[in-house]
Amino acid sequence: MTHREREVAREIRRLAREDLGLEWDGADGEELAGRLDSLALLSLVVAVEDRYRVKIGEEEAATTRSLADLARLVARKAAAPAKEEAP
Amino acid sequence: MHLDAQLDAAPRVSAVGRALPKNYLDQESLIAALRGLWAKRHFNVERLEDLHRAVQVSGRHLALPLEGYAGLDTFARCNDAWIDAARELGEAALRDGLARAGLSPVDVDHLFFVTVTGIATPSIDARLANRLRMKPSLKRTPIFGLGCVAGAAGTARATDYLRAYPGEVAVVLSVELCSLTLQREDLSVPNIVASGLFGDGAAAVVLEGGARGAARAPRGPRVLATRSVFYPDTERVMGWDVVDSGFKVVLSARVPEIVREHVGGDVDGFLGEHGLARRDIRHWIAHTGGPKVLQAFEGALELPEDALARSWRSLRDVGNLSSASVLFVLGDLLDGADARAGDLGLMIAMGPGFCSEIVLLAW
């Protein structure tokens, strides 16, 4: 993971704990679905979308297994918002 | 089967009355109405819209016209609206149930009132006792807090009562106005799921004690036995956090998981005590908790494809009506010609606690 991706992962952990009240301090490689139920996971994805002003598609979400995957995806999308979100 | 001896003495379901508010909105219109609210806080509104579509509800009846919700900005205003609407809808369901049973309000000996969507003291049952001129000796049991399980649990408690007083009539009235609990400032995913799933409605189950004879209500089933099941340490699976603005929903994704883990064993244990097995049950009356809950029921109980068709239809047509839901499904079954003498049915619902209630019916 790059420095930026590690920063995003740290912020996702903070969102989960402080904004959503989830009892979760996920390790980077940990399977998200194994630790968070589907509503909690969805809440986290929505919170991440709001925080970074990105949209995560269903297919992208399906291939995002770990916190590190999610952080990489968000870092990439947030770095190129105009290109990613253009119609 | 050793149930035969119990059959004649068991309380009977004489009728199920139902009432829905006249204000109906299809799901897309409701989504359009909520979109502006969501867009204030959420970046990806389409995701939230998809959540509303995923619950497989085509529309809901609402206690008030849409414009009536705009001014409900405090718990007191929501609850005042709830009292007015609950009285109206409760009366309609109660009158419908009694008319179907061929009874009058003065024939009712015990009125159980169940809800989880508003509070009132005197409770709604007292207000209806006045309005319908019910007898002064009417016994009233208002029950708040059982949530979605209260339709089945209320029916079970009413039959407990009728076993002690077999010459009497009991009514379980459920009024749920979920739309009046909407927390507009709570844009959490559980609240958005709940706002897409729950609708408003009322149902009244009319039950008669075993000593009142079979001739009065030949088509209604007897309630042979009931079973409550409490799941320890599951308090945060479902419920309300009571906040300044009203009832904020607590909803965990564990609900279908609990159904999958427990319901098969709970049902088998209960039926086994009566010398029965799942294959003996012809009619399944399941709470319309949502698509994942209904799928979990189907999987846990290994039901045939169309066994829960009535529950699926009710979910699609009116949404999850909390405690009234399972009673709407029971009423639908009683309206049709599917149930015949000798058939057995099982009504099952789950709710905050977390807990389930199972009711064995015999035609």
DSSP B69-128: GTT--SHHHHHHHHHHHHHHHHHHHHHHHHHHHT--GGG-SEEEEEESS---SS-HHHHH
In a domain? residue B6: no
- In a domain? residue B138: yes
Taking chain B, what is the end-to-end CA distance rounded to the nearest angstrom? 15
Query: CB distance B252–A55 less than 8 Å?
Result: no
Q: Using CB atoms, which residue from A37, A49, A55 is nearest to B253?
A: A37
Q: Which residues of A touch B46 (CB under 8 A)?
A: 55
Asked whether B226 and B362 are in contact (CB, 8 A), the reply is no
Q: How far apart are CA B77 and CA B72, in angstroms?
A: 5
Identify all chain A residues contacting B51, using CB atoms and an 8 Å cutoff: 42
Residue B8 domain-assigned (yes or no): no
Are B68 and B121 in the same domain?
yes
| Residue with more model confidence, B115 or B185 | B115
Q: What is the pLDDT of residue B4?
A: 61
In a domain, B105, yes or no: yes
Q: Establish how many alpha carbons lie within 13 A of residue B200's alpha carbon, considering only the half-sphere containing its beta carbon.
A: 25
Choose among B286, B280, B295, B361: nearest CA to B326.
B286
Please answer yes or no on whether B44 and A40 come within 8 Å at the CB atom.
Answer: no
The ipTM is 0.72
Question: How high does pLDDT run on average in chain B?
Answer: 93
Kindly state which CATH superfamily the domain A3-79 is placed in: ACP-like (1.10.1200.10)
Domain assignment of residue B348, given as a range? 219-362
Distance CA A65, CA A51 (A): 20
Is the CB of residue B85 less than 8 Å from the CB of residue B177? yes
Question: Is A63 in CB contact (< 8 Å) with chain B?
Answer: no
Question: Structure tokens of A44?
Answer: 């986290």
DSSP-derived pairing of the beta strands B344-351 and B283-286: parallel
Residues B200 and B307 both lie in one domain: no
Task: Give the residue numbers of B marked as catalytic.
Answer: 148
Name which of A42, A56, A84 to mutate to probe chain B: the one with the most chain B Cβ atoms within 10 A of its Cβ: A42
Both B205 and B238 in one domain: the answer is no
* Cα–Cα distances in angstroms (integers) from residue B99 to residues B17, B95, B103, B104, in the given order: 8, 6, 6, 7
Q: Would strands B238-243 and B246-251 be described as parallel, antiparallel, or unpaired? A: antiparallel
Q: 């508010």: which residue's tokens?
A: B21
Same domain flag for B177 and B55? yes
By Cβ distance, the residue of B41, B43, B251 closest to A39 is B251
The lowest-confidence range among A18-32, A65-79, B188-202, B245-259 is A18-32
Is pLDDT at B218 greater than 60 in this prediction?
A: no
| Chain A residues closer than 8 Å to B42 by CB | 46, 49-50
Q: What pLDDT sits at residue B216?
A: 63
Amino acid at B16: V
Whether residues B47 and B144 fall in one domain: yes
